[in-house]
Amino acid sequence: MIKKVQASEVRLGMYIHEICGNWLEYPFWRKSFKLNQQKDLDKLVSCGLDEIWIDTCKGLDVADGQKISVENPQSVKLINTDIPGQPVKKTVARIAVEEELNTAKKIQQKAKEAVTLMFSEVRMGKALEIEGAESLVEEINQSMERNPNALLTLIRLKNVNEYTYMHSVAVCMLMVALGRQLGLDAAQIKQAGTAGLLHDIGKMVIPNEVLNKPGQLTDEEFVIMKSHPERGWEILKSCYQVHETALDVCLHHHERVDGKGYPKKLSGDALTLFARMGAVCDVYDAISSDRCYKPAWSPAESIRKMASWKDGHFDETVFQAFVKTIGIYPSGTLLKLKSGRLGVVMEQSTKKLTTPIIKTFFSTRANAHILVEILDLSKGTDGIEKIEDPVQWGFDINKIQGI
């Protein structure tokens, strides 16, 4: 039985069904889990929550003391591909994000040129050539090994006119970052990145007036638009160099785990890990970018929106790994600190998602710019009060971040 209990009544052995409130605000990765460890109980207590939902069929009730041995199925459910629990082990020393930015910019530019050329040729009816795509993905992977935040910061830089190309580059980078987070091996990361780069190639055979229509599509136009995964699959299938993973992600990146996606309405185990990854990376980059038909949501807002969508849209484990990859406060988020200072998120902490590394530059108390300082919030000298809207403050976040 699912029941709501006072946070003060929670104890080890209970099965936490849901934390009342937005799970993104609390330092737990799973929405539901068996409370077995004292450190998790301490964490729950320190969150200052009032109430928590527990499942008495899977763990202890408030009143009883009996042990329940049912393991938490939600935390380990899903996927027909093994997901190793540990992120990729680093073999290269991590460098500061500022140090990696220049190299990352060059890689992004190179990727943009490659995708533009590849996609334009397909648009003109020529055969697809993916020469160089894999070595590009390898460069992306190496940059992420040095510091993933540089490329993850740059994916925000897009011009609405080149959206389809830059979106492909961004999804490629997000797939690599997510693959690393999920602990995939080098070959799988390469496949995931290449698949991201090619996932929307089918849009190249969609008439321009539909693809770049500045407003909402009619039902007929949306039917045409929704043919892009299958059209893309046909293009990729005719190219002998394309790996099965790219075909799979291209065809299935608009499927949903609840079977309400398209084109095949696949659900559950019928969807591979790569297709599930593609769905999350595609939607995140779409909604956090300006498109011809819709303005962008901020990165932090995009994550919150995706987290609020009903179960069944995304694979929960993949989505949670994705949040871990880009953060609850993604790079570029403007934050007001408890000290009254404003700062921009520069990179994620390797320790905790709730304590990113930020660049402070403004005092709301003095209403004036202050000496720029890089602050690691995990050190505990200051804390986050709330997210601020840079447009309302009139700040150019890209300039502050130096990108």
286 near ligand C2E, judged by CB under 6 A:
yes
* Amino acid letter, residue 71: E
Q: CB under 5 to 8 A by kind: which of ligand C2E, Fe ion, none does 293 bind?
A: ligand C2E
Min dist CB 163 to ligand C2E, Å, is 7
What is the Cα–Cα distance from 161 to 286, expressed in whole angstroms?
Answer: 14
Position among 30, 94, 112, 213 found at the interface with ligand C2E (CB under 6 A)? 213
Closest CB to Fe ion among 200 and 315? 200
Nearest distance in Å: CB 286, ligand C2E: 3
What's the sign of the alpha-carbon dihedral 47, 51, 55, 61?
Answer: positive
The item of ligand C2E, Fe ion, none sharing an interface with residue 61, based on CB under 5 to 8 Å by kind, is none
CA distance 391 to 78: 40
Binds 30: which of ligand C2E, Fe ion, none (CB < 5-8 Å by kind): none
CB of 249 to ligand C2E, least distance (A): 13
Count of CB atoms within 10 A of residue 306's CB?
A: 20
Rounded to a whole number of angstroms, the minimum distance from the CB of residue 167 to Fe ion is: 9
**CB closer to ligand C2E out of 91 and 216:** 216
Nearer to Fe ion, 200 or 388 (CB): 200
The one of ligand C2E, Fe ion, none whose footprint includes residue 31, by CB under 5 to 8 A per kind, is: none
165: part of which helix (H) or strand (E)? helix 163-181
Q: How far is residue 197's CA from residue 212's CA, in Å, rounded to a whole number?
A: 20
Provide the token pair at 392: 């309302």
Query: Which of 163, 88, 141, 128 is closest to 246 using CA atoms?
Result: 128
Q: What is the dihedral of CA 77, 79, 81, 86, to 10 degrees?
A: -50
Contacted by 133, from Fe ion, ligand C2E, none: CB < 5 to 8 Å by type: none
Enumerate residues 185-214 that contact Fe ion by CB under 5 A: 200
Q: Which of 282, 315, 316, 388 binds ligand C2E (CB under 6 A)?
A: 282
Quick one: 18 or 221, whose CB is closer to Fe ion?
A: 221
How far is Cα 14 from Cα 101, in angstroms, rounded to an integer?
A: 46
The conformation of residue 238, written as its DSSP 8-state character, comes to T
Does residue 292 bind ligand C2E (CB under 6 A)?
Answer: yes
Helix/strand/coil for 351: coil
Residue 311 is classified by DSSP as T
Chain residues in the site for ligand C2E (CB under 6 A)? 167, 213, 216-217, 225, 254, 282-283, 286-287, 291-294
Chain residues in the site for Fe ion (CB under 5 A)? 200
